Structure 1
Amino acid sequence: MREELLSTFGTQFEQPLIDEIVAVGKLVEVPAGETIMDIGNYVRFMPLLLSGAIKVLREDDEGDELLLYYLEQGETCSVTMACCMGQTKSEIRAITETETKIVMVPVPKMEEWMAKYKGWRNYVFESYHNRLNELLNTVDSIAFKNLDQRLVAYLKKKAQVTNDDCIRNTHQEIAYDLHTSRVVISRLLKKLEKMKKLVLHRNHIQIVDL
């Protein structure tokens, strides 16, 4: 775990902080498609992402989901931090997009390290800043972009975080993430295929030129 921490956070974290993370952190390897945090749960650990990707979702009163953002290598979830600090229940769902390796840090260490390590403080503040920008981008996308633009942006981001031009989600799963219907997504995907932007296969979508 130490070598992976140094590779991912070595330029941000002080050596004594790395030592403490090794001492108290729990290394977890999670396959794709697993829920690692759910709505209504108390947060006991804060995840530091060593590899892979996690999608963070919000749920409305009717149980429909909306994709907020992705977490990638070297990142953590600021919403999780807020829940940790306030000792409140989680208001988001986090699902592994790919096979993922995470270091789970006990919540009590967060405040201790904020006072103790400049590298940790900077990391936390930068995480809040990045997640806020991504949330604003999500709001802007919903408010100002039509659904076909949102779909293209979604597919491009998914290809980026998975490092794969083959999107292996079903039309229904994409519809859930974009908070719309499967019929609408299928129609828009067909439109993009006619424009030669992608190719629809039985079990995946091949991106060509988005």
Structure 2
Amino acid sequence: MKKIADVLHQLGLEDQLIQEIEQVGRQITVATEQLLIAPGMQAREMPLVLSGTLRVMREDAEGREIFLYYLEGGDACAMSISCCLGTQMSEFKVIAESEATLWMVPMVQIDNWMAKYRSFRKFIFDSYHDRFDEMLNTVDSIAFMNMDERLMKYLLDKKQSSGSFVINKTHEQIAQELNTSRVVVSRLLKKLEREEKIELHRNRIEVL
């Protein structure tokens, strides 16, 4: 597993800033499916992903969810920064897609580092840009893709984020993340299997 200093050096941050991040931050490990940020919560720390993957979801008032994007090694959650800087409550949730190791940075430091370090401003702006592009891709898939296309995109995104052709998800879990029914997901997965794009197994899917 990478150390925080190694990850920060790869992001192009200054040595002095890296030392400050190491001094004020703390490392945590979250288990698979553990909730990190919930709707209504005010984020007091920004998670930097050292290893593993986080899943960012949007939840409505009735508890229905839709998948937005993944956070992987070296990524920061731009929406948690936005909520904190605007002193707003979270309107999204962050869940560990797999066991993940995170470096938690106090939000009170963000303004100071953005004013003091050009490299940190660039990192934050790049994070906003990348997450915004990923959310636009999600919006495009909902607006312009059929459900079978959305499902295949979801599977390919999951394969890319995990680095594995095997996806350990139930049909019900996939349906929740795509905001559709389990019956629809099961039918479309069978269709993709007939087209030899995937293989179905008990509680897992293999992308071919």
Distance 1:137 1:14 in 2: 32
* Residue 71 (str. 1) matches residue 80 (str. 2): no
Task: Tell me how far 1:167 sits from its aligned partner.
Answer: 0.9
Task: Tell me how far 1:113 sits from its aligned partner.
Answer: 0.3
Distance 2:66 2:202 in 1: 25
* Residue 139 (str. 1) matches residue 139 (str. 2): yes
Query: Which AA in structure 2 matches 1:4?
Result: K
Which position in structure 1 is the counterpart of 2:119?
119
SS at match of 2:95: strand
Equivalent residues in 2 for 1:4-83, closer than 5 Å: 4-11=3-10, 12-83=12-83
Distance 2:8 2:149 in 1: 34
Q: Is the 8 A contact 2:28 2:102 kept in 1?
A: yes
Task: Tell me how far 1:130 sits from its aligned partner.
Answer: 0.6
* Contiguous gaps of at least 5 residues in structure 1: none
Distance 2:13 2:163 in 1: 27
Task: Tell me how far 1:62 sits from its aligned partner.
Answer: 1.8
Count of residue correspondences: 207
Task: Tell me how far 1:16 sits from its aligned partner.
Answer: 0.5
Which position in structure 2 is the counterpart of 1:195?
195
Distance 2:181 2:166 in 1: 22
Q: Is the 8 A contact 2:56 2:94 kept in 1?
A: yes
SS at match of 2:206: strand
* Residue 160 (str. 1) matches residue 173 (str. 2): no
Q: Is the 8 A contact 2:5 2:22 kept in 1?
A: no
Say what the alpha-carbon RMSD is for the aligned residues. 1.2
Task: Tell me how far 1:111 sits from its aligned partner.
Answer: 0.4
Task: Tell me how far 1:42 sits from its aligned partner.
Answer: 1.1
Task: Tell me how far 1:6 sits from its aligned partner.
Answer: 2.8
Distance 2:206 2:27 in 1: 34
Task: Tell me how far 1:5 sits from its aligned partner.
Answer: 2.2
SS at match of 2:203: coil
Kindly provide the CA deviation profile for residues 42-101 of structure 1, in whole angstroms up to 9, marking residues without a partner as x: 111011111111010001222110001111111111110101101111111000111111
Query: Which AA in structure 2 matches 1:101?
Result: T
Which position in structure 2 is the counterpart of 1:181?
181
* Contiguous gaps of at least 5 residues in structure 2: none
Q: TM-score, normalised by structure 1?
A: 0.96
Query: Which AA in structure 1 matches 2:178?
Result: L
Q: Displaced runs of 4+ in structure 1, greater than 6 A?
A: none
Distance 2:159 2:52 in 1: 13
